[in-house]
Amino acid sequence: MAVWMFPGQGSQRPDMTAGLAAAPALLREARELIGVVPGGGHGDAEDPEFVQPALFVVGVAAATALLRHEPAPAAVIGHSFGEFAALTAAGALPFETGLRLAVLRARAMARRADTRTGMLAVLGLAPAEVRAVCADITQVTGDDGDFVQISNINSPSQTVVAGTTAALADAAELCRARGAFRVRPLRIPYAAHTPLMAPAAAELRAALSDADIRVPAAKLYSCLTGEATADPDRIRELLVQGMTRPVDFHAAVTAAAHDGHRSFVELGPGSPARLLGLVGETLAAEVPSPRLRLVSSDAEAKTPRPFQAGRSGPRPNPVRQAVDDAR
């Protein structure tokens, strides 16, 4: 049985909702719940208020389609916002609850957009080196209110930092000087996964306090800590902390591999894959040939194609009802 993975913001594509034609029930329920088809030509393709609900529906649609072909996952991982789709696929969130939380989170983050903050991807430096760069810059500029910190550890050589624009410019220069082969500003107008998101985290905490969160049928590997959990209260707390704490996707994948998992499936907008390369790099030393696959929301219309190994045949699964809440 595989680990199912769901990407977060940054994985979107302009045509990512095209495959939802194969999931009319999801589209219908999304319209009833939030009034529009998420991502259906509305709003800025970089705006979390539109991107995040669309990614949620696309991820759940991919899971729904795959469950018609294959066993339920042994575990799930969500990259940042992807945890909401992951938890829905695992049976912890009914579709309605997951979508409403996705919309609330997206709107809370959009309200914190600020042209004086942003995010920067750094490729080719170890996270420890990037952390040292951030510490050096913050030590010098902190008195001016500028800061930069790690917001995502994606793999042994891919890190994202967030902070104020002045500090980010300094970080870009220092990272290049220390050997980063690529430093790229992200089109995200806020400092996600930093304390600047505390007001948004408070909104999410209030919404989660009485949200319908169930014991998942497949355990969640937290993208903050790497821990495996099926406890609803712990899941609530991790979702809130995920607003202000760095994502550590590397830790989640490493923990899953240490528990014996060798098959990883990315479910989301489709090609190009956003997570499979990170998994391959993370596991290169320990698991030379993990089984990696990409599945999009139109998976029902075509046989999901393995990257390396074949797929299992159909079997009963315990989380089908969770995603069928959307039907």
Reading the chain (327 residues) residue by residue, the pLDDT tens digits are 899 999 988 766 666 665 555 556 666 666 666 555 554 444 445 566 777 888 898 899 889 888 888 999 999 999 999 999 999 999 999 999 999 999 999 999 999 989 899 999 999 999 999 999 999 998 876 667 899 999 999 999 999 999 999 999 999 999 999 999 999 999 888 999 999 999 999 999 999 999 999 999 999 999 999 999 999 999 999 999 999 999 999 999 999 999 999 999 999 887 778 899 999 999 997 887 889 998 876 654 343 444 443 333 333 333 333 333 333
Phi, psi at 219, each rounded to 5°: -70, 150
Structure tokens at 191: 């400092």
43 strand-pairing partners = none
The answer to whether 185 and 118 have CB atoms below 8 angstroms apart is yes
Report the Cα 165 to chain-centroid distance in Å.
24
Nearest one of 225, 180, 216 to 86, comparing CA atoms: 216
Asked if domains 3-111+195-324 and 117-186 share a fold, the reply is no
pLDDT at residue 296, rounded to an integer: 76
The answer to whether 108 and 204 have CB atoms below 8 angstroms apart is yes
pLDDT at residue 321, rounded to an integer: 38
Structure tokens at 266: 């990315």
What b/e string do you get for 228-257 counting C-beta neighbours within 10 Å, with b at 16 or more? ebbebeebbbbbbebbbbbbbbbbbbbbbb
Query: For the whole model, what pTM was predicted?
Result: 0.86
Edge-first strand order for the sheet with 182-186 is 182-186, 117-123, 158-164, 148-155, 247-248
pLDDT at residue 142, rounded to an integer: 60
Domain 3-111+195-324: homologous superfamily in CATH? Malonyl-Coenzyme A Acyl Carrier Protein, domain 2 (3.40.366.10)
Domain positions in the chain: 3-111+195-324, 117-186
158: exposed, middle or buried (Cβ count in 10 Å: 0-12, 13-18, 19+): buried
CATH classification code of 117-186: 3.30.70.250
CA distances from 284 to 101, 158, 225 (A): 35, 14, 21
pLDDT at residue 143, rounded to an integer: 66
pLDDT at residue 308, rounded to an integer: 40
Question: How many C-beta atoms lie closer than 10 Å to residue 30's C-beta?
Answer: 29
pLDDT at residue 15, rounded to an integer: 62
pLDDT at residue 305, rounded to an integer: 45
Say which residue the tokens 């306090």 belong to: 209
Q: How many Å apart are CA 158 and CA 111, to the nearest integer?
A: 28
- Give the count of alpha carbons within 13 A of 63, CB side only: 40
